[in-house]
Amino acid sequence: MSALQGTAAAIRSGRQRKLLRSGVTVAIMLLALITIAAVSLMLGRTSYSPGEVLAVIFGETVPGASFTVGELRLPRVLTGLLAGFAFGAAGSTFQTMLRNPLASPDIIGVSAGAGAFAVTGIIMLSMTETAVSFFALGGALVTAVSIYLLSNRRGFTGARFILIGIGVAAMMQSIISYVLTSAPSWQIHTAMQWLSGSLNGASWEKLGPLTAAFAVCVPILLLCARSLEMLRIGDETATGLGVQVRPVRILLIVSAVTLLAFATAATGPIAFVAFMAGPIAARIMPPGASLVIPAGFVGALLVLVSDFAGQYLFGERYPVGVITGVLGAPYLILLLIRINRAGTTV
Amino acid sequence: MTSKHHLEAAGISLSYGSNTVVEHLDLGIEPGRITSIVGANGCGKSTLLKAFARLLTPREGSVLLDGKALQQRPSRVLARVLGLLPQSPIAPEGITVADLVGRGRHPHQGAFNRWSAQDYQAVANALETTGTAGLADRSVDELSGGQRQRVWIAMALAQETDILLLDEPTTYLDLTHQIEVLDLLTDLNRTQGTTIVMVLHDLALAARYSDVLVALKNGDVLATGTPREVLTPELIREVFALDCEVMEDPISGAPLILPKGKHHVR
């Protein structure tokens, strides 16, 4: 065997090892997701057996369980799964595309944009719950488009996108504060509940739009996953290797923002899930693996576990966004310290 | 194997926004040769290379590959003919050498990243040629500057293109590694017939390692030809605003430039 063949064989086995490790990691995450979903369906104030839960899922009528599981827990768990996956996949898409962990939608103002619109809808326009969802969706899209247009003058650069995004986030936060200060106290409660991100309002009706957005956007993200992975070696190098950088970037931004906006509309901005999921997935996957699905799984796990913990682990019930916020804030600080240590800039 | 593809700029004007860098420039690249673009800072040499690499669309005119404008060809097809190594490519955190070099196969693969025997062969060949096979499982972050540059060149080799464009491939390298990289490119040119076009800062290295020099000033081609034809004291004064003497390099026979500064002149 020549040296060349030996090298080729070594590369092949290295690549197969990596694929195997990716596969096993994703399978373990899937198993963990199924477990936490099953636990969330079974346990609660009243607990039901696996048999009862399955019976409800297959459409049989079980006294008590049909309502608690069928109308409350099942839509809640499904919303948590889809929204968590959406936050994770969209967040990691942004972070990978802009090659920066700070480029997550909850840092660059897309989530804040949704929040500002939602709060305005609740307090100033007295909208219904469904109308608020769509208004928040519009808010996320408008914010993302403005950040893109503002940062795209004289060529697109990731750093400019992030810095303008952080500025826009601050503007949106100030709109939220302004609207909240001018609100009557009974409406503040509704608005705060929306802003903290929660699965309490989950229902089959609200799940519909999210599922539709999921069915359209996730396949697009997966189709672009390889090009996205190529963008990590720089826009110019990727162009040289045949990636159509501009169309891919626009397609990725549009589908990630749409996915994120629909998820935010369904649950409110669940703090830091989009921000944390990508880096966690990057840590557990082998280097250079595509992160869309792993980050989606991590996002869904974060949401379901935090929601379960928020409901039952403490004396009081906390919305899921409070728990993820408690987890995410220290991570943000840690990340900023790391960036500072490495002496790199945004 | 010799290069069959012709790359040519036909009346191109290049600008960033309203700032015009190059106007109505014509330049044909000789297939199978090593061409270096030289000139003072800001003369438009990197901009010109960007146009050849389709990173910049000309405002007027077009860059033609075998008579057809780059922008009219599918980017994946183009990427099988025209390789590019930008000045500062980015290595993703933690990525291994084999993985990075493997990305050079992107234009040859389908949508689902299936690797063929040919892909493995090409990557192995690129690693062996650049002497980086022993680093295959290492993380790119851990490598020295010279090793890293060889890995990037390996990625461009794995792409198996007839034409290779490089923007200052020797910057940030010490002298040993500069020579190593240029020797590697010369090997590639001689054994595979790869057409090489690069922007080089160092005139001495450009003179020794190029078949053809293109001297650029303010976005215009002042001269093209062999290093001997181009590197005359008159032309160097015009391009770099610098007085100098030119003698024969005792090692290679290429022109050797001796600049006359303000000080240390006898």
**Residue A239 within any structural domain of the chain:** yes
Flag if A241 and B159 touch (Cβ within 8 Å): yes
Which residue do the tokens 């590959």 mark? B65
- Residue A343: per-residue pLDDT: 60
What token pair was written down for A66? 């049909």
- In this prediction the pTM is 0.89
For residues A280 and A25, give the distance between their C-alpha atoms in angstroms, rounded to a whole number. Answer: 12
For residues B231 and B209, give the distance between their C-alpha atoms in angstroms, rounded to a whole number. Answer: 13
Flag if A236 and B111 touch (Cβ within 8 Å): no
Which pLDDT tens digit goes with each residue over A82-130?
A: 999 999 999 999 999 988 888 888 888 888 998 899 889 888 888 887 7
**Residue A28 within any structural domain of the chain:** no
Give the torsion sign (CA, B45, B51, B55, B58): positive
Which pLDDT tens digit goes with each residue over B120-179?
A: 999 999 999 898 999 999 999 899 888 999 999 999 999 999 999 999 999 888 899 899
Question: How far A131 CA sits from the closest chain B CA (Å)?
Answer: 40
B:191-220 residues touching chain A, CB 8 A cutoff: none
Question: How far B163 CA sits from the closest chain A CA (Å)?
Answer: 12
What token pair was written down for A79? 């919303």
- Residue B3: per-residue pLDDT: 52
**Residue A2 within any structural domain of the chain:** no
Q: Which domain holds residue A217?
A: 76-342
For chains A and B, CB pairs below 8 A equal 117
From chain A, the residues in CB contact with B89 under 8 A are 233-234, 236-237
Nearest CA in chain B to A246: B55
How many domains is chain A partitioned into structurally?
Answer: 1
DSSP class of residue B162? S
Flag if B79 and A242 touch (Cβ within 8 Å): yes
**Residue A266 within any structural domain of the chain:** yes
**Residue A40 within any structural domain of the chain:** no
Structural contact between residues B239 and B222, judged by C-beta atoms closer than 8 angstroms? yes
For residues B125 and A269, give the distance between their C-alpha atoms in angstroms, rounded to a whole number. Answer: 50
From chain B, the residues in CB contact with A15 under 8 A are 98-99, 102, 115
**Residue A108 within any structural domain of the chain:** yes
What token pair was written down for A252? 């990725």
Angle at B139 between CA B135 and CA B143, to 5 degrees: 70
CATH of the domain at A205: 1.10.3470.10
Which pLDDT tens digit goes with each residue over A129-178?
A: 778 878 888 898 899 889 988 887 777 778 888 899 999 999 999 999 99
**Res B1 pLDDT > 50:** no
Nearest to A260 by CA among A299, A291, A224: A299
Q: Going by C-beta distance under 8 Å and a sequence separation of 6 or more, which residues neighbour residue B15?
A: B21, B22, B59
Q: What domains are there in chain B, each with its CATH number?
A: 1-81+161-266 (3.40.50.300), 91-160 (no CATH)
**Residue A80 within any structural domain of the chain:** yes
